Amino acid sequence: MNQTELQLDLPLGGAVPDTSGQHSLQLDDPPLPFRLRRSRRAHVSLSVDEQGLQVSAPRGMALPQIEQAIREGSRAIGGKLAGKSAAAGKLPLPERWQDGARLPFLGREVVLCLDGGRPGIALCDDRLHLPLPPEAGEKQIRDSVQGWLQAQARLAIETQLEAGSRRLEMPVPPWRLSFASGAWGGVDPDGRLRFSWRLIHISPVEIGSVVCRFLSQLKAAQPAPALWEDDAAPVPA
């Protein structure tokens, strides 16, 4: 696994509570998500892998000090993170909906396989098996795939909402899946969040970043402008 690692030395404080797990730091818009792991090291280690930013910090270091270390190392790791985001947003969509076509799913590519002998859609490694015969038309294939992707989007967004709400110490807000193109999400006038089902094309780390942005805005009771899909191409209608 390719990693970029950076080590920073900061003074340790006294005993601090264990804050290992998923966090988010407001470096830019949207916030930067990272996973924190406590270790016996005397320094903070930042690395970027397939899951995003990983931070290893001494057990006696307070979270504000760790965030300071991330800010200091942000220039060194920013290019790697930006590259991951751009790559996820530019995964190609199928020109034709047929057996062997490729499409982006959670930041990686999966291959469509027509398999009429299956009782339902199944994802096995990087192959998405569809219970359709080889002679199935493009519209039938597209409708089947998009219905499955939308169901997966609900699960992925719900997972990130629950995790983000715990971090922000707020109840999970009501939300809806959006089928409009052009924006990742937003906040409705009644305070309900909305998220595009097309988030399923990008990685879980990036989904978490989008969800965290709108949760933070909702908690602060501030209007939330739309977060536009600058890089991600929409699924053809």
The Cα 148–Cα 102 span in angstroms is 15
pLDDT tens digits along 222-237: 444 555 444 444 444 4
Chain centroid offset of residue 71 CA: 21
To 5 degrees, how large is the angle CA 104–CA 86–CA 209?
A: 85
Q: Please report where in the chains the tokens 């309900």 appear, as a residue.
A: 192
Band of pLDDT at residue 176, cut at 50, 70 and 90: very high
Q: What does the DSSP assignment read for 174-214?
A: PEEEE--SSBSEEE-TTS-EEEEGGGGGS-HHHHHHHHHHH
To 5 degrees, how large is the angle CA 168–CA 174–CA 176?
A: 120
- Pairwise pLDDT comparison (195 vs 24), residue with the higher score: 195
- Out of 65-74, 104-113, 147-156, the most confident range is 147-156
SS3 149: helix
Residues of the chain above pLDDT 70, percent:
69
Counting other chains too, the contacts that 171-178 makes at CB distance below 8 Å and 24 or more residues apart are: 173/215, 173/218, 177/150, 177/153
> For residue 20, what are its two tokens?
């290992």
Q: What does the DSSP assignment read for 95-147?
A: SS-STT-EEEETTEEEEEEE-TTSSS-EEETTEEEES--TT--HHHHHHHHHH
pLDDT tens digits along 113-143: 999 888 899 999 999 999 999 999 999 999 9
The Cα 164–Cα 154 span in angstroms is 15
